[in-house]
């Protein structure tokens, strides 16, 4: 049982596993492959330069797959905890599926961007959602450059304001920090390194995951099981 006291400052990191029970496939389900390409190759600037249509289709299919998925009890459990803790709570998600926002999460950092937003490669303009253009590659109305999904690809920097928000929260928390990771395989950095950041700040670390992930030994407490079941019980 994760006890929240009046001084607890809770930092939550979520990955694809928290959306699995909503019907969103995780990266591991795809075995890290998309049409025979390594995921890292497709979700990278080089991959987009090499074959923008393939990458655009990869994201269009994932976006289309989100059309009728809903947040699950794990997403809602985090919204309840946020209401209880207020500014002593911060959610950092690796997910680009927008389900945390749909569930009502407010104090949230989308450290890898959001698949429902596109941006221009050159003028960084972020046009309105362009759900219409699933197949053909949309171009920027301003400068004609190709548009791309507004997500952080492999080899790209995490947005500075996201890193600053995480850093500020950990610093302010000190040993009152409780770090909880949910549904992530702990292989992609810097997200996978957050548990180490939390430990060196003197915090305690919890993991809720369907199986023991790569960085499981870094966690003080490990709860193996589906997040939709384990998370609501963890805070009961
Ligand atoms: C960076 C957005 C500085 C896009 C994603 C060598 C060469 C080049 C780079 C590197 C290198 N070594 C390290 C790096 C850095 C690289 C990296 O870490 N690579 C890995 C592959 C080794 N990182 C980066 O490039 C990052 N940027 O470092 O900038 C820099 C700059 C230049 C050069 C070097 C460094 C940027 C990384 C961001 C990539 N973007 N997503 C998109 O979504 O399309 S990553 C994507 O995969 C996710 O966002 C997530 O972060 C990651 C892993 O996914 P998970 O969320 O963990 O999901 P997964 O399927 O893997 O696991 C699901 C888990 O849930 C499983 O454990 C499963 O058991 C569990 N589960 C399943 N069902 C349930 C469940 N748990 C509970 N309940 C259930 N029901
Ligand atoms: Zn432009």
Atom of ligand 1 nearest to the CA of 227: 78
**pLDDT score at 217:** 96
**What is the pLDDT averaged over residues 107-118?**
94
Minimum-distance ligand to the CA of 208?
A: 1
144 CA → ligand 1 middle, Å: 31
**pLDDT score at 28:** 86
Range of the domain at 186: 9-24+70-112+157-234
Instruction: Give yes or no: residues 76 and 182 share one domain.
Output: yes
- Tens digit of each residue's pLDDT (9 = 90 or more) over 134-168: 778 888 888 889 999 999 999 999 999 999 999 99
Of 117, 189, 192, which is best to mutate to test ligand 1, by the most ligand atoms within 8 angstroms of its C-beta?
Answer: 189
DSSP string, 122-187: TT---PSP-TT-SSSPPB-TTT-PBEEEEEPPTTSPPPHHHHHHHHHHHHHHGGGEEEEEES--S-
The model carries a pTM of: 0.96
**pLDDT score at 99:** 98
- The better pLDDT of the pair 131, 32 is held by 32
**pLDDT score at 207:** 98
Domain presence at residue 4: no
Instruction: Give yes or no: residues 162 and 228 share one domain.
Output: yes
- Tens digit of each residue's pLDDT (9 = 90 or more) over 71-97: 999 999 999 999 999 999 999 999 999
The token pair that represents 58 in the structure block: 């990869």
Residue nearest to atom 10 of ligand 1 (CA): 155
- The domain boundary, picked from 131, 151, 171, lies at 151
Domain presence at residue 1: no
Instruction: Give yes or no: residues 123 and 189 share one domain.
Output: no
Residue nearest to atom 21 of ligand 1 (CA): 188
Instruction: Give yes or no: residues 161 and 197 share one domain.
Output: yes
Residue nearest to atom 67 of ligand 1 (CA): 185
- Quote the number of domains for the chain: 2
Instruction: Give yes or no: residues 124 and 103 share one domain.
Output: no
**pLDDT score at 7:** 96
The token pair that represents 174 in the structure block: 């000190």
**What is the pLDDT averaged over residues 107-115?**
96
**pLDDT score at 171:** 97
- pLDDT exceeds 60 at position 131: no
121 CA → ligand 2 middle, Å: 7
**What is the pLDDT averaged over residues 112-125?**
87
By DSSP bridging, strand 108-110 and strand 204-209 are unpaired
Domain presence at residue 75: yes
Atom of ligand 1 nearest to the CA of 113: 2
Instruction: Give yes or no: residues 60 and 174 share one domain.
Output: no
Instruction: Give yes or no: residues 181 and 125 share one domain.
Output: no
Instruction: Give yes or no: residues 99 and 46 share one domain.
Output: no
Domain presence at residue 3: no
Instruction: Give yes or no: residues 124 and 219 share one domain.
Output: no
- Counting other chains too, the contacts that 209-213 makes at CB distance below 8 Å and 24 or more residues apart are 209/17, 209/181, 209/182, 209/183, 209/184, 210/17, 210/20, 210/183, 213/184, 213/185, 213/186, 213/187
Domain presence at residue 169: yes
Q: Determine which one of 75, 76, 112, 131 is catalytic.
A: 112
Instruction: Give yes or no: residues 167 and 194 share one domain.
Output: yes
- Tens digit of each residue's pLDDT (9 = 90 or more) over 19-77: 999 999 999 887 888 888 899 899 999 999 999 999 999 999 998 899 899 999 999 99
**pLDDT score at 141:** 83
Q: Could you tell me which of 48, 54, 50, 61 has the C-alpha nearest to residue 153?
A: 48
**pLDDT score at 130:** 56
Domain presence at residue 212: yes
Give me the CATH number covering residue 189.
3.40.50.1220
**pLDDT score at 132:** 60
Domain presence at residue 2: no
Instruction: Give yes or no: residues 163 and 230 share one domain.
Output: yes
Q: First CA to last CA across the chain, in angstroms? A: 8
- Tens digit of each residue's pLDDT (9 = 90 or more) over 163-214: 999 999 999 999 999 999 999 999 999 999 999 999 999 999 999 999 999 9
Instruction: Give yes or no: residues 173 and 209 share one domain.
Output: yes
Ligand 1 pocket, residue 189 CB under 6 Å: yes
- The domain boundary, picked from 127, 151, 175, lies at 151
- The domain boundary, picked from 151, 175, 206, lies at 151
**pLDDT score at 33:** 83
């Amino acid at each position: 049982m994760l006890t929240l006291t009046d001084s607890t400052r809770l930092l939550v990191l979520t990955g694809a596993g928290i959306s699995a029970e909503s019907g969103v496939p995780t990266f591991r389900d795809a075995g890290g492959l998309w049409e025979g390409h390594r995921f890292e190759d497709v979700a990278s600037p080089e991959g987009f330069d090499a074959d923008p249509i393939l990458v655009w289709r990869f994201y269009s299919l994932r976006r289309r797959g989100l059309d009728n998925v809903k947040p699950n009890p794990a997403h809602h459990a985090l919204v309840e905890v946020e209401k209880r803790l207020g500014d002593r709570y911060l959610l950092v998600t690796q997910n680009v599926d927008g389900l945390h926002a749909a569930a009502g999460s407010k104090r949230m950092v989308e450290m890898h961007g959001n698949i429902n937003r596109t941006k221009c490669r050159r003028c960084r303009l972020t046009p309105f959602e362009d759900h219409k253009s699933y197949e053909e590659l949309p171009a920027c109305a301003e400068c004609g450059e190709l548009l791309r999904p507004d997500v952080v690809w492999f080899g790209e920097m995490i947005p500075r304001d996201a890193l600053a928000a995480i850093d500020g929260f950990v610093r302010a928390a000190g040993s009152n920090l409780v770090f909880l990771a949910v549904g992530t395989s702990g292989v992609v950095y810097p997200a996978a390194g957050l548990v180490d950041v939390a430990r060196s700040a003197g915090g305690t670390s919890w993991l809720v995951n369907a199986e023991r992930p790569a960085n499981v030994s870094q966690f003080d407490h490990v709860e193996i099981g589906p997040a939709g079941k384990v998370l609501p019980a963890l805070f009961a």
